[in-house]
Amino acid sequence: MKTSAANRNIWLMTALLFLGTGLFALPGNEELADTTNYKSFYGKVIDSQSNKALPFATIEALGSNTATVSNIDGNFTIKIERNADINQLKISYIGFQNQVVDLNKFNDKRSFTIELEPSSVQLKQVTIRPKNAMELISDILDNISNNYSEDPMMMRGFYRETIQRGRNYVSISEAIIDVYKGSYSNEYQMDQVKLFKGRKSADVEKMDTVLFKVQGGPNTTILMDVVKNPYILLSDEYLNIYDFIISDVITINDRLHYVISFSQKEYVDDPYYRGRLYVEMDRLAITEAEFELNVENQDEAARLFIQRKPMGMSIIPERAAYRAKYSIDEDKWYFSYARAEVKFKVNWKKKLFNTTFTTMSELAITDRTYEGIEKFAARERFKSNDIINEKVYIFFDQGFWEGYNVIEPDQSIESAIRRLNKKYLRRNGNES
């Protein structure tokens, strides 16, 4: 079965990729933060039983809208204004009990390890609603205006985008962005992104005579808000596309959640998604979503990603995985985190070996406010066809992000930045 909305819906959700030649000039001016009015707190989140790192844990400064997430190694840094009346952090992770930690337990420089306890759900004590999964989905959509903000807001976030060839990083871009977040009850109030400050690794290599780029940048991760953009997974056609089942009950943020698993129906030919929605049981709000594209039909899946490629090249998508998270404040949920990871193989005619590329896009909302709500001028907006690597420029200052909350780079990214910067310095004869 072919469905009319398939290509449009998936195109909006992919980190749109294309291959083209050439390098571009680097624009921009910079704005340095006041580095004296905040304090940094370093931590690591682990499973108390296995001692394994917990990536993408949410860390919130209680009494404020300041937040961040842990990186792939479980590490995080959160920066808090010195004059703010904030004394505690709340750490939450799917399937674990929340933990509140006093800031006075943190050392000024050493990382403080936070052990989360797995949470158990006594299923006998859980009252399952006498509804099937499809009725539950309908109720979720009906409750969006009650569970999410009906007023527009301003958000600030940290965005990171990386490209790997095999195991080697060939491009790393980072930015602080401002987001105009439209009302969840008004489909015409579209989200907007403005680039505030950014940098990129000091060397962008040519790859097999072409330059691989990611189009859309933070705009694509904003689209992963499946509640604001229900057509991504919950369009009017979803009855004909997906099978939904209630597969589990777990805790997130100390609240009971249904786990709704979904996959495309067997007779649907176009590539769609399979994954899980995590739905808060009392309020019927989606608080997390994990899903990945069905890439079994490689030719159709490739058409969704590639805008332009050289002759003689074939693209084979191997994986396209997505994650979105929401945080709660005063009984309203707010979009707080998104991650997209796409892996594919490139084959050249008349070449014996293929090349594997992986792109990762990650966005953490670090602050939000209902004050100063104003849409961005057209010339300021980051557009859907913009490429972030062309909008930011090389910067070596170790204090570049002073004053801003960011996602801590994992060890592989840190070493890649050092390697690429050294290579750039040698090439330009600037290494001491």
Least confident of 122-126, 336-340, 388-392: 122-126
Residues 97 and 129 in one domain: no
Last residue of a domain, one of 55, 86, 116: 116
Residues 415 and 290 in one domain: yes
pLDDT at res. 129: 57
**Mean of the pLDDT values across residues 200-226?**
72
Query: Residue 11: how many CA atoms within 13 Å on its side-chain side?
Result: 13
Residues 257 and 197 in one domain: yes
pLDDT at res. 356: 86
Looking up residue 102, the CATH number of its domain turns out to be 2.60.40.1120
User: Beta partners for 145?
Assistant: none
In a domain, 402, yes or no: yes
**Mean of the pLDDT values across residues 314-340?**
90
Last residue of a domain, one of 60, 87, 116: 116
pLDDT tier, 14 (very low <50, low <70, confident <90, very high otherwise): very low
CA-to-CA distance for 398 and 218, rounded, in angstroms?
23
pTM of the complete model? 0.84
pLDDT at res. 214: 75
**Of the candidates 157, 59, 176, the residue with the CA atom closest to the CA atom of residue 368:** 157
Per DSSP, which regions of 29-104 are E strands?
A: 38-47, 58-61, 67-69, 75-81, 88-92, 99-102
**Mean of the pLDDT values across residues 327-343?**
92
pLDDT at res. 416: 73
Q: Pick the most confident of 163-167, 181-185, 310-314, 394-398.
A: 181-185
**Mean of the pLDDT values across residues 99-105?**
92
In a domain, 65, yes or no: yes
Report the percentage of the chain scoring pLDDT > 90.
40
Q: Is 255 exposed, middle or buried (0-12, 13-18, 19+ CB in 10 A)?
A: middle
pLDDT at res. 121: 63
Structure-token pair, residue 279: 């739905």
pLDDT at res. 7: 39
Whether residue 254 is predicted with pLDDT greater than 50 in this model: the reply is yes
Task: Select the more confidently predicted residue: 16 or 405.
Answer: 405
**Mean of the pLDDT values across residues 246-258?**
89
Whether residue 392 is predicted with pLDDT greater than 70 in this model: the reply is yes
Whether residue 157 is predicted with pLDDT greater than 60 in this model: the reply is yes
pLDDT at res. 384: 84
DSSP state letter for 28: -
Q: What is the per-residue pLDDT across 19-52, written as a single tens digit (0 to 9) for each?
A: 443 332 333 333 434 456 888 899 999 999 999 9
Residues 160 and 301 in one domain: yes
pLDDT at res. 210: 46
Structure-token pair, residue 26: 């680097």
pLDDT at res. 318: 86
In a domain, 52, yes or no: yes
Residues 95 and 132 in one domain: no
Task: Select the more confidently predicted residue: 314 or 379.
Answer: 379
In a domain, 347, yes or no: yes
Helices (H), 228-372: 238-241, 298-305
Residues 108 and 130 in one domain: no
In a domain, 224, yes or no: yes
DSSP H or E run through 137: helix 133-142
Q: What is the per-residue pLDDT across 50-98, written as a single tens digit (0 to 9) for each?
A: 999 999 999 999 988 899 999 999 999 999 988 888 999 999 998 899 9
Q: What is the per-residue pLDDT across 240-250, written as a single tens digit (0 to 9) for each?
A: 889 999 988 88
Last residue of a domain, one of 70, 98, 116: 116
pLDDT tier, 126 (very low <50, low <70, confident <90, very high otherwise): low
**Of the candidates 160, 410, 123, the residue with the CA atom closest to the CA atom of residue 259:** 123
Average pLDDT of every residue of the chain: 81
- Cβ-proximal residues to 197 (8 Å cutoff; 6+ apart), any chain: 30, 31, 175, 176, 404
**Helices 298-305 & 6-13, crossing angle to 10 degrees?**
60
Task: Select the more confidently predicted residue: 376 or 123.
Answer: 376
Question: Domains in the chain: how many in total?
Answer: 2
**Mean of the pLDDT values across residues 389-397?**
77
**Of the candidates 20, 362, 21, 348, the residue with the CA atom closest to the CA atom of residue 162:** 362
Query: Which CA distances in Å does 158 have to 41, 43, 155, 193, 371?
Result: 17, 18, 10, 12, 20
In a domain, 33, yes or no: no
Residues 307 and 179 in one domain: yes
Structure-token pair, residue 258: 């249904």
pLDDT tier, 237 (very low <50, low <70, confident <90, very high otherwise): confident
CA-to-CA distance for 355 and 7, rounded, in angstroms?
26
Residues 68 and 181 in one domain: no
Whether the Cβ atoms of residue 35 and residue 65 lie closer than 8 Å to each other = no
Identity at 374, one-letter amino acid code: E
Whether the Cβ atoms of residue 83 and residue 64 lie closer than 8 Å to each other = no
Number of C-beta neighbours around residue 138 at 10 A: 14
pLDDT at res. 308: 65
pLDDT tier, 357 (very low <50, low <70, confident <90, very high otherwise): confident
- Cβ-proximal residues to 69 (8 Å cutoff; 6+ apart), any chain: 56, 57, 58, 59, 76, 325, 337, 364, 407
Residues 63 and 207 in one domain: no
Residues 17 and 68 in one domain: no
CA-to-CA distance for 255 and 246, rounded, in angstroms?
17
Residues 111 and 229 in one domain: no
Least confident of 99-108, 228-237, 263-272, 332-341: 228-237
Whether the Cβ atoms of residue 284 and residue 147 lie closer than 8 Å to each other = yes
pLDDT tier, 211 (very low <50, low <70, confident <90, very high otherwise): low
In a domain, 261, yes or no: yes
In a domain, 339, yes or no: yes
**Of the candidates 406, 404, 332, the residue with the CA atom closest to the CA atom of residue 364:** 406
Least confident of 137-151, 265-279, 388-402: 388-402
CA-to-CA distance for 392 and 401, rounded, in angstroms?
14
CA-to-CA distance for 89 and 407, rounded, in angstroms?
16
Residues 53 and 163 in one domain: no
pLDDT at res. 154: 95
pLDDT at res. 28: 36
Residue 101 sits in which domain range? 39-116
**Mean of the pLDDT values across residues 350-374?**
86
Query: Which CA distances in Å does 80 have to 33, 335, 431?
Result: 13, 21, 35
pLDDT at res. 350: 67
Report CA Rg, the chain: 22
